[in-house]
Structure 1
Amino acid sequence: MLIGYMRVSKTDGSQSTDLQRDALLAAGVDPSKLYEDHASGKEDDRPELASCLKGMNAGDTLLVWKLDRLGRDLRHLVNTVHNLTERGIGLKVLTGEGAAIDTTTASGKLVFGIFAALAEFERELISERTKAGLASARARGRKGGRPYKMTPAKVRLAMAAVGHKETKIGSLCEELGVTRQTLYRHVSPTGELRPDGKKLLKSK
């Protein structure tokens, strides 16, 4: 069964869900299976979304007009989709930057896997920066230090990025906080896992 969810940010009537509604109906959602919230994406209290998710069953597919209609942020979005996946429920995004996401297909799962890796990378990066800041404070201004180690999230992100012509390895290493030698010890120049990368992912 197809279930549609819509959201607009303002509750004063200045925004309309008409465009979202038309797209969801055109995609095959029954009018009786549409849920609508009028709340900011950052708000925890979205009763219609909660009701929508609670009422879905295995085999159902949740449709949203754009990805930002569903999640407050990337982390919330990833957690929501993981929950749906564990329950056997799919997600399909109709338009916008997330339009390639359709977790009922293999390619769509791959795209969302990259989103999940980015969310995990974001969490680890914040944690590492916090630890680095504390270490710096303890050292009373000492500069330098070893690059951050490779993590499962960084390996998955590297796999998605390495091998593409537009990817600059130097910039990627700088963003990941690892040396080129460390990167290539885990992932090949074509994005394939190497023994160290396989070992790291297996250990998670």
Structure 2
Amino acid sequence: MLVGYMRVSKADGTQSVDLQQDALLAAGVGEEQLYEDHASGSKDDRPGLAACLKALRDGDTLVVWKLDRLGRNLHHLVTTVHDLTNRGTGLKVLTGQGAAIDTTTPAGQLVFAIFAALSEYERSLISERTIAGLASARARGRKGGRPHKMTPAKLRLAAASMGKPETNVGELCAELGISRQTLYRHISPTGELRADGQRLSQK
């Protein structure tokens, strides 16, 4: 069975899902199998997506108009699709840069494997820059203090480092000058932004 998900960024009625809906219906998704959200893609709280993912069953395929309708970022997208794959469900993208993705086919699986590799490569590069930046700061005599304030820059560095097995959380907090409580209030142990982190990232 095909299940469709639609999203527009504004909840004030100035944007419509009509274009996405027409494309999903033309692709064979039934009207009763359409889910939608009116929210920014960066938000964690997307009840339509949560309901859509819950409705998917083994053998189903999730259909989206464009790739950016689904994922908050590349890492979130890769994680979501891995979860779908583990449940025996597929993903099909109808248009845009991700239109070659159809994880129910070997070619589509290959394309998504490349996306996954790029996501890991991006995280590794950011982590390397973080470590190099911290080492440079130490060499100049700047050490992590105790102002328990998370900044957008610290947020990006922490998100890149969290979730990697080699990351020592205590050392990371000391280098960034934040407490563990501050860190986990903004970022999950796997590096996903929590509500406070999402708000800070939009500043």
Establish whether TM, by shorter chain, passes 0.5. yes
Which 4+ residue blocks in structure 1 deviate beyond 4 angstroms? Answer: none
The equivalent residue for 1:132 is 132
RMSD of aligned residue pairs (Cα, Å): 1.1
Alignment of 1:106 with 2:106, yes or no, is yes
**What whole-Å deviation, never above 9, does each CA across 1:3-43 have from its counterpart, x for those lacking one?**
00000001111111111000000000010000011000011
| TM-score computed with the length of structure 1 as normaliser | 0.67
**What whole-Å deviation, never above 9, does each CA across 1:78-133 have from its counterpart, x for those lacking one?**
11001001111000000000000000001101111111111111111111111111
Alignment partner of 1:57: what SS?
A: coil
**What whole-Å deviation, never above 9, does each CA across 1:33-64 have from its counterpart, x for those lacking one?**
00011000011110010011011111000000
Alignment partner of 1:79: what SS?
A: helix
Q: How many Å separate the matches in 2 of 1:78 and 1:89?
A: 14
The equivalent residue for 2:29 is 29
Alignment of 1:54 with 2:54, yes or no, is yes
What amino acid is aligned across from residue 119 of structure 1 in structure 2?
S
Q: How many Å separate the matches in 2 of 1:94 and 1:45?
A: 24
The equivalent residue for 2:195 is none
Quote the offset at 1:134 in angstroms: 1.7
What amino acid is aligned across from residue 61 of structure 2 in structure 1?
T
- Greater CA deviation, 118-127 or 94-103? 118-127
The equivalent residue for 2:162 is none
The equivalent residue for 1:94 is 94
Unpaired runs of 5+ residues, structure 2, are 142-203
Alignment partner of 2:103: what SS?
A: coil
Q: How many Å separate the matches in 1 of 2:27 and 2:37?
A: 20
Unpaired runs of 5+ residues, structure 1, are 142-204
Alignment partner of 1:7: what SS?
A: strand
The count of corresponding residues between Structure 1 and Structure 2 is 141
The equivalent residue for 1:166 is none
Quote the offset at 1:137 in angstroms: 2.4
Q: How many Å separate the matches in 2 of 1:88 and 1:68?
A: 22
What amino acid is aligned across from residue 45 of structure 1 in structure 2?
D
Quote the offset at 1:139 in angstroms: 2.9
Largest Rg, 1 or 2: 1
The equivalent residue for 2:13 is 13
What amino acid is aligned across from residue 13 of structure 2 in structure 1?
G
Alignment partner of 2:110: what SS?
A: helix
| TM-score computed with the length of structure 2 as normaliser | 0.68
Q: How many Å separate the matches in 2 of 1:60 and 1:3?
A: 7
Q: How many Å separate the matches in 1 of 2:80 and 2:22?
A: 24
Q: How many Å separate the matches in 2 of 1:46 and 1:118?
A: 26
Q: How many Å separate the matches in 2 of 1:20 and 1:12?
A: 18
The equivalent residue for 2:71 is 71
Q: How many Å separate the matches in 1 of 2:139 and 2:42?
A: 38
Q: How many Å separate the matches in 1 of 2:10 and 2:139?
A: 48
